[in-house]
């Protein structure tokens, strides 16, 4: 059989599939956008294929950030997102999309964009081949209630808030139908507040169970993914009972919330987002008084308690969480692999699995595992990232990034 599809062979290194714990000495043949053969080192014949030297390196599945904010303009103050004009937002999102792919991220699940079409138009242009970027599941602006997280409105001025403010089940349903019409894949719902804002704080639950259920049910009807910002224990319970696809944060879980997540672990994913606390404490430059006011150390302790426990219970975790703010810019997201090891007791393999295989499952596009027939979204990393959790965050160690069989970047 002859074919015109481009063929690439990645030869002479190790392969880590994403699913199993061990690496293997294997070569991988790619044709078109798919992995077509995996064989023992030196055993695959592919004379006509472009050869990539993998000696001393490990081939892993492309990474997925499950809580992406590609539209963030290096946020340094609370209302900066809505203050950024739409035209600038588009350019920022476009540049960040390329930065993510440069950094080995072949997938991003949106977690709130400033306007309904900001990520949609970038997804469309990436898919059309016009600009480089990961597979992107565009998100709505966060769906919140009046006075909920991201409702930055004030009575005395007409502010265009970077959120969809909806109260009651009918407004929630309408907002999601609007998102569907405008092309999103993901609806981000804010069920609790957040300690980084004066109000509502992270232990306050702001969206009613009826509203959460309506959001998830409507998403399911339209084939969209509902993802939730939920820090308080009650917000976690509402998210899980309603059936959200991805649960973000979940810091302040009580025993009942942990049990509910465990019961739902085969149908949902959790993003610990512990990296934001690490960034705040060590890279933000915020004065101690500000960190104290936001109760960062207390929240970090709760986050560690929750997610160490969820890890033990076999809950599927993802990486990502508010990369895009000034002290953790887009493109540095792979630091989360190390964060899961440092803070939550993951082994490097488990953390890498959160970044790759679980991310692929959460996106549901057939990527995230190196297997015959799988999408060729791949990263070639110098050394052994299954033993050293810091490697994937060092872009000088990424020898090649491939998305859909196309080499995006390659050392040398």
Contacts with Zn ion by CB under 5 A lie at 111, 322
Closest CA to 253 of 268, 236, 240, 238: 236
Nearer to Zn ion, 322 or 377 (CB): 322
DSSP 286-352: --HHHHHHTTHHHHHHHHHHHHHHHHHTTPPB-B--SBTBTTB-TT-TTHHHHHHHHHH---HHHHH
Minimal distance in Å, beta carbon 291 to Zn ion? 19
Minimal distance in Å, beta carbon 234 to Zn ion? 20
Nearer to Zn ion, 71 or 205 (CB): 71
Is there a contact between 372 and 38 (Cβ–Cβ < 8 Å)? Answer: yes
CA 66 distance to own-chain centroid = 2
To which residue do tokens 């465990």 refer? 262
Nearer to Zn ion, 200 or 385 (CB): 200
Is there a contact between 154 and 164 (Cβ–Cβ < 8 Å)? Answer: no
Cβ neighbours of 295 (radius 10 Å)? 15
Nearer to Zn ion, 46 or 66 (CB): 66
Cβ-proximal residues to 205 (8 Å cutoff; 6+ apart), any chain: 191, 192, 232, 234, 235, 238
Minimal distance in Å, beta carbon 68 to Zn ion? 9
Tokens of 86: 């739409």
- Provide the pairing of β-strand 57-61 with 50-53: unpaired
Nearer to Zn ion, 111 or 402 (CB): 111
CB-nearest residue to Zn ion: 322
Handedness of CA 58, 61, 65, 70 (dihedral sign): positive
Nearer to Zn ion, 111 or 212 (CB): 111
Minimal distance in Å, beta carbon 112 to Zn ion? 6
Minimal distance in Å, beta carbon 203 to Zn ion? 18
Is there a contact between 225 and 180 (Cβ–Cβ < 8 Å)? Answer: no
Nearer to Zn ion, 132 or 141 (CB): 141
Minimal distance in Å, beta carbon 306 to Zn ion? 17
Minimal distance in Å, beta carbon 322 to Zn ion? 4
């Amino acid at each position: 059989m002859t074919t015109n599809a481009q063929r690439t062979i990645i030869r002479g290194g190790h392969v880590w599939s994403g699913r199993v714990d061990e690496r293997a000495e294997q070569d991988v043949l790619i044709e078109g956008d798919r992995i077509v053969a995996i064989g023992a080192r030196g055993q695959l014949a592919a004379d006509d294929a472009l050869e990539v030297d993998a000696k001393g390196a490990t081939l892993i599945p492309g990474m997925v950030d499950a809580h992406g904010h590609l539209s963030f303009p290096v946020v340094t103050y609370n209302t900066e997102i809505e203050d950024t004009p739409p035209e600038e937002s588009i350019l920022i999102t476009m540049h960040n999309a390329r930065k993510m792919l440069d950094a080995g991220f072949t997938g991003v699940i949106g977690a709130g964009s400033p306007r309904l079409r900001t990520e949609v138009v970038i997804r469309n242009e990436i898919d059309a081949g016009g600009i480089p970027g990961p597979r992107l599941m565009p998100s709505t602006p966060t769906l919140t209630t009046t006075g909920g997280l991201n409702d930055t409105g004030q009575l005395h001025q007409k502010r265009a808030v970077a959120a969809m403010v909806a109260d009651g089940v009918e407004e929630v349903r309408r907002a999601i139908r609007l998102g569907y019409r405008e092309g999103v894949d993901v609806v981000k719902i804010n069920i609790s507040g957040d300690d980084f804002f004066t109000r509502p704080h992270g232990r306050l639950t702001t969206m009613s169970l009826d509203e959460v259920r309506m959001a998830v049910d409507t998403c399911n009807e339209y084939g969209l993914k509902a993802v939730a910002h939920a820090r308080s224990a009650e917000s976690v319970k509402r998210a899980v009972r309603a059936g959200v696809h991805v649960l973000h944060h979940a810091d302040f879980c009580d025993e009942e919330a942990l049990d509910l997540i465990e019961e739902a672990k085969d149908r949902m994913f959790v993003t610990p987002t512990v990296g934001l606390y690490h960034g705040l404490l060590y890279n933000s430059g915020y004065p101690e008084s500000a960190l104290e006011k936001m109760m960062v150390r207390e929240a970090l302790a709760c986050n560690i308690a929750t997610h160490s426990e969820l890890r033990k219970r076999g809950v599927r975790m993802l990486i990502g969480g508010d990369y895009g703010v000034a002290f953790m810019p887009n493109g540095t997201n792979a630091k989360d692999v190390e964060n899961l090891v440092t803070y939550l007791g993951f082994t490097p393999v488990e953390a890498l699995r959160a970044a790759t295989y679980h991310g692929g499952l959460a996106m549901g596009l057939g990527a995230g595992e190196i297997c015959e027939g799988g999408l060729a979204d791949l990263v070639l990393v110098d050394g052994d990232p299954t033993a050293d959790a810091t490697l994937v965050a060092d872009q000088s160690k990424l020898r090649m990034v491939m998305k859909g069989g196309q080499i995006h970047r390659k050392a040398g």
